[in-house]
Each structure stands twice: as C-alpha cells, then as structure tokens.
Amino acid sequence: MPDISPANNVVRFESVGLRYGQGPEILQDITLSLATGAFYFLTGPSGAGKSSLLSLMYLAQRPSRGVLTLFGQDVSLTRRQMLPAIRRRVGVVFQEFWLLDHLSTLDNVALPLRVAGVREEEIMKHVPELLAWVGLAHYLHAKPSTLSGGQKQRVAIARAVISRPDLLLADEPTGNVDDRIAMRLLHLFIELNKLGTTVVIATHNERLVRRFNFPRMHLENGRLTLYAPYQDPAVPDEI
C-alpha cells in the first residue's frame, strides 16, 4: 500500500474523486502521498485525467469527495484566504504555458515574486539570472507572442521555479522543445528536487521516463496506479 501517513507528506490524497458538474467521475478513488523531495512522472493516455489530477494539487479544483491534504492542511477545511499561502509553495508549468501576453518575459517570470510582495531590487536580480540560465537572456523584454513554442515553455518553467517552490507540477513541460533543451529542463527540475522540491511531471514522453530513474504514477480511466522506476506498466509495483 502507498504510504498515506501524514508525516513528511507534501501531498496526500485519500479516496479522492473528481467530477465536473453532474458529469462522470474523471478521477476515482485516488489514494497517494508524495513525500518531501520525491520525484514522480505522471503518465497515462490523453483524457485519462492527468491535468485534472495536477489541477487538484495546485488548487484550481476541489475534490468532489475524499480528503486532499497539501503541506499538512486539509484543503476542504482550509479557509479561502489561506489558500494563496499554499499556492505560493506550488510551482506549475502548464501545457498551454498560460503566459500573460501583455507582460514581458521578465514580468511574466516575476509574477509569483510580485504577488508575494518581494522587493523590486530582488526581482531584478534573480529573474534575469534565471532567464539567462534557461537561455532567454536576450528576451527579457520580449512579449510572449514574439517567442517560439520552446521559448514560451522555458518562460513558463522559469515562472514556476523562480520562487523555489516546495512542490513543482509540470504538465508536458518538454512537449515543445527539442531533446537537448528537454534534457536541460529535466536537469533543472532534478536540481530543484535535490534542494528538496517535490516534483511531479506529467508526460507522454516514454523515452524521458525510461531515461530517468524515477517512480511513476500511471492514470488510466480515472484510476491511479503507482510504479517503481523502469517497471513495465503492465506489472504494477507498489511504492
């Protein structure tokens, strides 16, 4: 059985179900716990509910049933005013990037720091540094509409990691970049993970999953199965 004890868990699902409106359950009886410093791939066919599972973790959705605990707090019992504090500990990379088109690259990446009230001097020191690291040093003032898909992806990743989140969620983060950039981004996630960030990467990229020695959560028909690294999906192995 997966470890669902509260201690040391960043994320804990207990029999969580999710449905939109009166529709069928997209996610059924999800029970899992992610410890501090864990690194997971999240796989599954399109429409299996990967994005929905992630959306529960970044609090864009509330479970229809079950208990979801983030950083030790039951989200259904947490007052709405307290949710931003939890969200600030979560970095998210979206499949569609969700960059703000009217803001520059620099301002997009600075967003999590600005909403947290970080001083402008700090922002102006750290954001260009990170953008240089992801190869966008010359695009600080470019608007997202002028960037390629891969560049947008890197901006989105930089925005997700700029505040050194405790939990990093990425939905197909390497979908729009070539292998070289994909590896570089994966190494960035691994570096963050080494510093204690729990990482969940939703991906279709089987090669990526096989190349890195991390456990995997597999979603199929709304149900989650956990696999040890390098295991064949046909042979589940409890983690």
Partner 1 sequence: MFKRRSDLPFDNDATSHFLPTIVAVMVFLAVLATTGAMVIQDILERWHRDVSGTVTVQVGALASDSLAEVQQRVDAAITVLQNTPGIAAARPLDQREIADLLEPWLGSTELVADLPLPRLIDVTLRKGATVDMNALTQRLAETVPATSLNDHQVWLSKLVRLGRGLEVLALSVVAMVIATTAVAVAHATHSALAIHHSVIEVLHIVGAHDDYIARQFAHLSLIQGLRGGFWGLMLAVPVLGIIGWLASHLESGLLPAFVVRPFHLVSLGLLPLGMAGLAQLTARITVHRTLARMP
Residues in contact with partner 1 by the rule CB under 8 A: 58-62, 80-81, 84-85, 87-88, 92, 98, 100-103, 107, 111-112, 114-116, 159
Q: How far is the CB of 190 from partner 1 (least distance, A)?
A: 23
Q: How far is the CB of 84 from partner 1 (least distance, A)?
A: 5
Q: In terms of CB distance, is 111 or 190 closer to partner 1? A: 111
Q: How far is the CB of 23 from partner 1 (least distance, A)?
A: 17
- Return d(Cα 117, Cα 174) in angstroms, integer: 30
Q: How far is the CB of 215 from partner 1 (least distance, A)?
A: 26
Q: In terms of CB distance, is 115 or 137 closer to partner 1? A: 115
- In the structure encoding, which two tokens stand for residue 117, read together? 């009230």
Q: In terms of CB distance, is 98 or 212 closer to partner 1? A: 98
Q: In terms of CB distance, is 47 or 84 closer to partner 1? A: 84
DSSP states of the chain as a string? -----STTEEEEEEEEEEESTTS-EEEEEEEEEEETT-EEEEE--TTSSHHHHHHHHTTSS--SEEEEEETTEETTTS-GGGHHHHHTTEEEE-TT----TTS-HHHHHHHHHHHTT--HHHHHHHHHHHHHHTT-GGGTT--GGGS-HHHHHHHHHHHHHTT--SEEEEESTTTTS-HHHHHHHHHHHHHHHHTT-EEEEE---HHHHHHS---EEEEETTEEEEE-TT--TTS----
Q: How far is the CB of 54 from partner 1 (least distance, A)?
A: 11
- Return d(Cα 161, Cα 155) in angstroms, integer: 10
Q: How far is the CB of 32 from partner 1 (least distance, A)?
A: 21
Q: In terms of CB distance, is 109 or 208 closer to partner 1? A: 109
Q: In terms of CB distance, is 57 or 226 closer to partner 1? A: 57
